[in-house]
Structure 1
Amino acid sequence: MAGKYESESKLDGTASSGEDGPGTYHETYHDVDIVYKTLSWKLVAVLMIAEIVSNGMLSLPSSLAVVGIVPGLLLIIFLGVFATYTSYLLVQFKLRHPEVHSMGDAGFILFGPFGRELLAFGTIVFAIFATGGQLLAGQIALASLSSNKLCLMLYTGIFAIPTLICSFPRTLDRLSWISVPSVLSILIAGIIGMVGAGLYPTPERHLSAARSSSFYEAFFSITNPVFAYAGHFLFFILISEMKRPQDAMKAAYVLQGFATTFYAVFAVVMYVYLGPMVASPAFSSLETKWAKAAYGIAIPNFLIAGSLYSHTASKLIFIRLFRCSRHLYSHTFTGWSTWTFLIILMNSLAFVLAVAVPIFSYLIGIAASLFASWYTYGIAGAFWLHDSYHDEEGIRTWKRKWPQACLAAATFMVGGFICVAGTYVTVRGIVIAYRDGTVGSPFAC
């Protein structure tokens, strides 16, 4: 796939994120072997859906069981609209700053070197934890299919191998094509789950239009829909490999439209038929053969989503190391050995965390609260405030465009609230789990 660097293989439109900041090429390469900017908006939409619409949706029915159908459904729809708005702000920021390849580059523009390191670190940490979350989803699926005949740690290890292999391609276009069956698998699995719930509903179930509960119980439950949309930290990397970044919002509209509709229908149907005792993940509440069918069909999605997350963590570091080097665009020993090391490292860290940390599922919640709350919601408001201030007339622009400024500021504050409240309820959940003795042991079967 050789090509000309200037015309088709330039990764993001600028260059280095070195000490002089993002945006300065120190070298130019004309003959390249690896072309990055190959994605159409349709393939980006597939990648977005494969990454976001995954095992997170399986916890939505249990959220409705805590707060009731009406508030839960309204929250899912509101978050879908809100995520569409923040997607728009992220895309506009990327188009104004084509040098941005990751949240780390965006952090440099907003806050300087410290912001770059903080947001890059958060992206890597959240991606590793998200990979581990998919490994746990794969573990549950394999255990269900085999009726728990093996040690759970072995299921995790078995699932980690294809996840690692699928994350190896250097460019996202290779992952995009295998993401097509991933999207189909989670869609079909969700439909099978709803059919199974309808055929074998929970008897004598009591449904609630709305339920009152404590702040801890309510917010702990709604973190499921809040973070079911948490995939924006990948958007800059995805857009950087598009042939036409100007079409990125088309992909975002498809993603949010599909996710919001599917989430709402799935959550309501599963709750209505399985009742307030619906498990998280919801497939575990299905009759055995239907649970096996749903989990079995969902496995490709869990696998590809995990691969996308580990690929993202590796890609951020790889670009940081070789952004101004021929190793980025050529088949060199240094480039491929570094990429291989990073892929193995990220997947290994995810596997070790998933099997060695008994409270890993809670740590995923903490990572999501600390980082995904900003990447998906809050920081998008900062992007608009920054560009409207620096690119136009400063505070006078904010005054003239006060509705947009107020909405952007509110978006930033919402991200802060989700960060603080989500961290609080997750930490409290850990304390309660240890108090009640429900925490397992490392490397347990």
Structure 2
Amino acid sequence: MLASDLLVPPFLTLIVGLGLIATYTAGLKTGCWVIMLTFTMASHILTFDICFNVITGHATCTIVWGIVGMVISIVFTLPRTLKALSFLAILSFLSILSAVLLTIIGVAVESYPAGYNGTAVAWMVGAENVEFYRAFAAVTNIMENPQDYPKALCLLQFTATAFYTIAGALIYRLAGQYTQSPALGSTNEIIRKVGYGLAIVTIVIAGVINGQVATKYVFQGLFYGTKYYTSRRWFSTVLWVGIVVALWVIAWFIAESMPDFNDLLGLISRLFVSWFTYGISSISWFYDEIKERGWSFWRSSWKGCVLFVINVLIIVMSCTITGVGLYCNGRTLHEDLDMYNIHFPAPDEPDTANNYIRPAYMTTRYRVEYALKSHRRDNFIEWIKGLLAVPFVLHSQPRVNPSPAENGVAWKAPSADTRSRYAEVFHDIEELVDDHIAHAEQGTVDQSKLKLLVPSVGTFWTKLPLERAFLANEERRAISARRFVAPSFNDVRLTLNSAQLMALVDDLKLITFDGDVTLYNDGGALSPDNPVIPRLIALLRADIHVGILTAAGYEEKNGVKYRERIYGLLDAVAASDLTEEQKKRLILLGGESNYLLRYSSEAETGLEWVDEEEWQLDIMKALKDEDIHQFLDIAETVLRECIDMMRLPATILRKGKAVGMNPTPGKTLSREQLEEVVLAVQRTLMFAEVSQRIPFCAFNGGADVWVDIGDKRLGVVSLQTWLGGIHGRCTLHVGDQFLSLGHNDFKARLAATTVWIASPSETVEALDEYLELRRRASSCLGLT
């Protein structure tokens, strides 16, 4: 969450706040100096955000960490002399030294730096540390012996230049173009966390020193020559504290207005550092020369003429760096902000290519957060886990060293108490879901309590009887009887599944399934002995449409290839006592959303091709062949680059509306390799102009990687529309890949209710549960 999310226009804050500082300080140069220091303070708050997001795994909103960093910095800036910070400055030096050395070691021992995707990236950002003027006046003013300043300066510049040159050279040599900013992001997760832990001191203290200097400038500009300047009375102290708080609040707004650390770093460099390092020194030289020798000084000697030309060139260079740099920085900032505006279409929103979620390009700050959170966790489930952890800790711990008489009892959980506590949690969540649905119907979903608690929570198509679902799972799995293992991710996932099935007992009209890992093992088929087949036939007998949405794309209209995948089901349907109408409710949609076939007793393969004009959505009909070829060419190029750069044992397979990467026979690809390839493809396609006209899905298939035209949402919506306009609340999609945008079941949540399973056996269990619920409901109505 950024400051812009709080309805605060970032640059309006910048202009008003910093403009006031420049107005009430002693002149433009001093005002710019204070502004630059304030921007530098902002960079330390931003680094503090990144630091704690990494260490805690993004345990809370980024704005919270920014506020914590701001408060800590305010506290340490309150002393009015740098003497109080001298000891902490030593710790700060040791802190940054340890962090940098750890970073060098971290990138040295890794085979590839973090962020490696096999694609070269060209970029440039102004170096923030090219400066030789920092803190001159502020330091000499409070030094016991100002004559020692040259010695201190020489020592500082020698050690700092040597240290940063060696460190920078080593890190860039080892991490190359994948060096992130801050550089700790180039290491693996464990080293990142340790490194940021070591760097906390310097992140805070280095920012505080900038805050001290900026506050001194403002205080001096406002009160020099008055009784308040040297007074230690309460009113003078209040003035000092007020300036400290104001500067840090402005710095916080700047930090939270920037989507990326490099954006802020580049803005500081191009606005101020180039001038304080080069331009102002040349302007000062002109001022001194004109004052001493007049306007014709440059003609007095050849030396004066040469210096005149050099200083003019320096000023021109500073103007160029500022002008061109600000333009480039503005473009980058605009693109970065746009990349975070991911649009989730409403159920009734028109189908257009731009309406579909596209994986955002991740700049440094958000790449860290994404790696730690977005594609590895379901935030709603993790939040519920956290709520359940409290009653587990309070009520489910066994006694230590029970007496022999108690031993049998000690291992029996106080299940009644613990179960009731868990049930209360699910009851409260159930009410929050109801409130969320009510707000969504009124168009005020951002005001729902659940949305405030879990900002990433999506659409609920139905109410969820979570308390009843938990109690049902409790009967099956005795969750509250566990005394050493808290309610887990799977416990919550299965409870949510049960609640969704309970909500659909009377309304289900269409159920769709992913193929691999959902109906059969990865790369397998629906053989006659598959236990899911009689359950699917039972669904057909209940007049429910059954759709199989597979990523496999075969263009042959006779359906031979698809029959090889589901031959057991087709034969069972043919031999069943289902009516012809019920049999035709079996549908197969291949290539995610490209090829539709339905069961037919008259077809040789048991599958009849359905013409695209009958069922395809307008968005798919409008796709041009040249755009499809261009899009797949780009995807294929990236896949080949990944194979070459990562030395993967894989081959490329190109189809009419898909391109994929399969492991060579006898070889396997690791999950990390597959996810790296998926993210590399997504990132490249995100910037391809043709992808703005092509809805697509790039996903990790478990053993391979595929890029398809279309996606699961389009597939589900296509079937809903073709079958007469079935609503999302009457549709269920069963799949195994919901963890991220890189998993192809994820988008189905935008079109229908979903059940998240982990294996074909879980699919069987879920269908048994649903069919039993349906049988009980029918019995209650006297229908069976």
Following the alignment from structure 2 to structure 1, what is the Cα–Cα distance between the partners of residues 337 and 230? Answer: 49
Match of 1:240 in 2: 141
Tell whether 2:323 aligns with 1:413.
no
Question: 1:233–1:375: 8 Å Cα contact kept in structure 2?
Answer: no
Aligned CA RMSD, in angstroms, stands at: 3.5
Counterpart among 153, 175, 179 of residue 89 in structure 2: 179
AA of the residue aligned to 2:249: S
Structure 2 counterpart SS, 1:184: helix
Render the CA deviation track for 1:326-358: whole Å, top value 9, x for unaligned.
322231222111001111111122123323555
Q: In structure 2, do the counterparts of structure 1 residues 158 and 375 end up closer, same or farther at CA, with 3 Å as the change threshold? A: same
Counterpart of 1:288 in structure 2 is 189
Q: C-alpha separation between the residues in 2 aligned to 1:425 and 1:407?
A: 26
Residue 155 (structure 2) pairs with residue 254 (structure 1): yes
Q: CA deviation at 1:231?
A: 6.9
Q: Cα offset for 1:115?
A: 11
Deviation at 1:393, TM superposition (A): 6.3
In 2, the alpha carbon distance for the partners of 1:231 and 1:125 equals 18
Local SS of the residue matching 1:201: coil
Q: Judge conservation of contact 1:381–1:410 (CA < 8 Å) in 2.
A: no
> Would the aligned equivalents of 1:190 and 1:266 in 2 still touch at CA under 8 Å?
yes
What's 1:278 paired with?
A: 179
Q: Which residue, out of 223, 226, 231, partners 1:325?
A: 226
Structure 1 residue 154 displacement after superposition: 1.7
1:148 equivalent in alignment to 2:51:
no
Aligned to 1:347: 248
Q: Which amino acid aligns with 2:251?
A: A
Q: Deviations over 1:52-78 (max 9, x none)?
A: xxxxxxxxxxxxxxxxxxxxxxxxxxx
Shift of 1:185: 1.0
Larger strand fraction of residues: 2
What letter matches 1:369 in structure 2? R
Task: Name the amino acid aligned to 1:198.
Answer: A
SS at match of 1:307: helix
How do residues 197-212 of structure 1 correspond to structure 2 at under 5 angstroms? 197-202=107-112
Correspondence for 1:127: 37
CA distance in 1 between partners of 2:84 and 2:132 (Å) = 19
Identity %: 23
SS of the residue corresponding to residue 252 of structure 2 reads helix
User: How far apart are 1:194 and its partner, in Å?
Assistant: 0.5
Label 1:257 to 1:201 Cα distance change in 2 as closer, same or farther (>3 A).
Answer: farther
1:426 maps to what in 2? Answer: 329
1:318 CA drift (Å): 0.7
Q: Does 1:267 align with 2:168?
A: yes
Corresponding residue for residue 88 of structure 1: none
1:259 CA displacement? 2.8
Q: Distance in 2 between matches of 1:333 and 1:203?
A: 53
Question: How far apart, CA to CA, are the structure 1 residues paired with 2:131 and 2:262?
Answer: 16
Q: Are the equivalent residues in 1 in contact too, given 2:113–2:179 (CA < 8 A)?
A: no
Structure 1: gaps (5+ residues): 1-106, 108-112
Q: Specify whether residues 142 and 343 from structure 1 end up closer, same or farther in structure 2 by C-alpha distance, changes over 3 A only.
A: same
The match for 1:97 is: none
Between Structure 1 and Structure 2, the one with more helix by share is: 1
Deviations 1:218-265 (A, max 9, x none): 5xx141x2x223473533322333344444333333333233222222
Could you say which structure has the greater relative contact order, defined with CA pairs below 8 angstroms and 6 or more residues apart?
1
Aligned residue pairs total 323
Query: TM-score scaled to structure 2, two decimals?
Result: 0.38
Aligned to 2:390: none
Rounded to whole Å, the distance in 2 between the matches of 1:295 and 1:360 is: 15
Q: Is the 8 A contact 2:99 2:196 kept in 1?
A: yes
Instruction: Summarize the Cα distance change of 1:254–1:286 in structure 2 as closer, same or farther, 3 Å threshold.
Output: same
Look at both structures and tell me which one has the larger radius of gyration over its CA atoms.
2
In the alignment, the residues of structure 1 paired with residue 44 and residue 247 of structure 2 have an alpha-carbon distance, to the nearest angstrom, of 13
Report the CA distance shift for 1:390/1:232 in structure 2 as closer, same or farther (over 3 A). Answer: same
Q: How far apart, CA to CA, are the structure 1 residues paired with 2:323 and 2:153?
A: 27
Residue 3 of structure 1: aligned partner: none
Given that residues 44 and 207 in structure 2 are in contact (C-alpha distance below 8 angstroms), is that contact kept between their aligned partners in structure 1?
Answer: yes
Identify the residue that residue 103 of structure 2 maps to in structure 1.
193
Question: Does structure 2 retain, via aligned residues, the 8 Å contact 1:182–1:300?
Answer: yes
Q: More deviation in 249-258 or 147-156?
A: 249-258
Query: What stretches of structure 1 move > 6 A for 4+ residues in a row?
Result: 203-208
Take 2:308 and 2:148, find their aligned partners in 1: how far apart are those partners? 25
Contact 1:127 1:309 in 2 (8 A): yes
Task: Determine if contact 2:25/2:31 at 8 Å carries over to the other structure.
Answer: no
Q: Distance in 2 between the 1:385 and 1:174 partners?
A: 39
Shift of 1:436: 4.1
Matches within 5 A, 1:60-71: none
1:139 aligned residue: 49
Map 1:24-63 onto structure 2 (within 5 A). none
